[in-house]
Amino acid sequence: MKIGTIDIANAIVLAPMEDVSDLPFRLVCKRLGADILYTEFVNSEGLVRNSEKTKRKMIFSEEERPFGIQIYGGEESSMEGAARMADEMNPDIVDINAGCWVKNVVLHGAGAGLLKDLPKMERIVSSVIKATNKPVTVKTRLGWDENSIRIVDVAKMVEGAGAQALTVHCRTREQGHKGDPDYSWIPKIKEAVKIPIMVNGNIFTPEDVHRTFAETGCDGVMVGRGAIENPWIFKQAKEFMQTGQVQTHVTVEERVRLCIEHLKLSVQYKGDRTGMFEMRKHYSGYLRGLPNVSKVRMELMGLTDIEAIVNRLLLFKDETLLLMEEKDVPAAV
């Protein structure tokens, strides 16, 4: 798919996720093959108010390219101002969030709230495009609820306004994260527009990635929670699509190694205290399914020294390998 000068076939993209898709996690996913990375949503009002905390969310590393900054808001003027500020950071893409289902966001007419006012969504897309020289993409849902699915019209509208790609989380706002996503809309959207379409929602395994490309004819898939559970999914999905098999089997050693690498990146970019604190939400992802995870997670939460955390993780690896040997459990999952 082509977005501006970005040209990637069968792109596998990391989803924007608040408090998750930060710089350290994005780097982890990039090194494991994610083709495009997006920031978590960045509040346009916070940006135009010049909030340092909000501005920090746009910081990225050159290693991340191609990289997108996602902004959200329900007011044209602040979205335009935010797009200008995002542009100054020199990302490769500016993305508009038109899919967030959270009550506080939609109450302000932002996120999926835009699906209730398509003329406003169009004005916002146009204003953002005017405010930046970067390609603009949009991420949305099928519709507000099952009775108001207008995704084909939305796709035509954003294309007409000048957006260069559209990501569709194949659920309605009313569904939140519940229920099955309905991918059957994707071929209809593909028929109606020329811009690349990325599919999102419940893509958890390399096989899911392959199936989504094959069944929908989409140009990219976007992986959210599946990457928290398994950041190797990007690499594994590429292997699966090329050879029909996954070659990267994630061992206990690899899980602990990557967890420590992530912790070090977190501390490098956020400082000791914040880096350690913000890493806490990732331990369950890395150690998922292994014996005694809740106990070791609790212990890790209580530690405030990086070396002690690293040592506890290494000890956990040894303990787990020993347990697996005793019980004759395969070390790779």
Tell me which residues are annotated as active site.
100
Residue in the shown chain whose Cβ atom is closest to ligand FMN: 224
Instruction: Count the neighbouring beta carbons within 10 Å of the beta carbon of residue 39.
Output: 26
Q: Which is nearer to ligand FMN, 221 or 313 (CB)?
A: 221
When asked if residue 44 is in the footprint of ligand FMN (CB under 6 A), the reply is no
When asked if residue 41 is in the footprint of ligand FMN (CB under 6 A), the reply is yes
Q: Which is nearer to ligand FMN, 203 or 313 (CB)?
A: 203
Which of 68, 74, 99, 275 is close enough to bind ligand FMN by CB under 6 A?
Answer: 99
Which of 54, 70, 172, 236 is close enough to bind ligand FMN by CB under 6 A?
Answer: 70
Q: Which is nearer to ligand FMN, 166 or 313 (CB)?
A: 166
What does the alpha-carbon distance between residue 299 and residue 297 come to, in Å, rounded to a whole number? 5
Q: Which is nearer to ligand FMN, 98 or 313 (CB)?
A: 98
Q: Which is nearer to ligand FMN, 25 or 316 (CB)?
A: 25
Pick the stretch among 221-229, 230-238, 259-267, 270-278 that binds ligand FMN (CB under 6 A): 221-229
What does the alpha-carbon distance between residue 125 and residue 160 come to, in Å, rounded to a whole number? 10
Q: What are phi and psi of 143, to 5 degrees?
A: 175, -175
Closest distance of CB 114 from ligand FMN, Å: 12
**Binding letters toward ligand FMN, positions 223-252, x by CB under 6 A:** xxxx--------------------------
- Helix axis angle for 252-270 and 23-31, nearest 10°, is 140
Closest distance of CB 203 from ligand FMN, Å: 5
- Residues binding ligand FMN: what is the number (CB under 6 A)? 21
Closest distance of CB 59 from ligand FMN, Å: 16
Amino acid letter, residue 237:
A
What does the alpha-carbon distance between residue 120 and residue 127 come to, in Å, rounded to a whole number? 10
The CA-CA-CA angle for residues 59, 201, 87, to 5°, reads 25
Which of 201, 206, 220, 231 is close enough to bind ligand FMN by CB under 6 A?
Answer: 201
When asked if residue 262 is in the footprint of ligand FMN (CB under 6 A), the reply is no
Which of 139, 173, 190, 238 is close enough to bind ligand FMN by CB under 6 A?
Answer: 139
When asked if residue 97 is in the footprint of ligand FMN (CB under 6 A), the reply is yes
Q: Check whether the bond before 91 is cis (ω within 30° of 0).
A: no
Q: What are phi and psi of 284, to 5 degrees?
A: -65, -35
Pick the stretch among 1-9, 151-159, 220-228, 272-280 that binds ligand FMN (CB under 6 A): 220-228
Which of 172, 200, 216, 320 is close enough to bind ligand FMN by CB under 6 A?
Answer: 200
**Binding letters toward ligand FMN, positions 156-185, x by CB under 6 A:** -------------x----------------
Pick the stretch among 96-104, 152-160, 208-216, 284-292 that binds ligand FMN (CB under 6 A): 96-104
> Which residues of the shown chain bind ligand FMN in the complex (CB under 6 A)?
15-18, 20, 40-41, 70, 97, 99-100, 139, 169, 200-203, 223-226
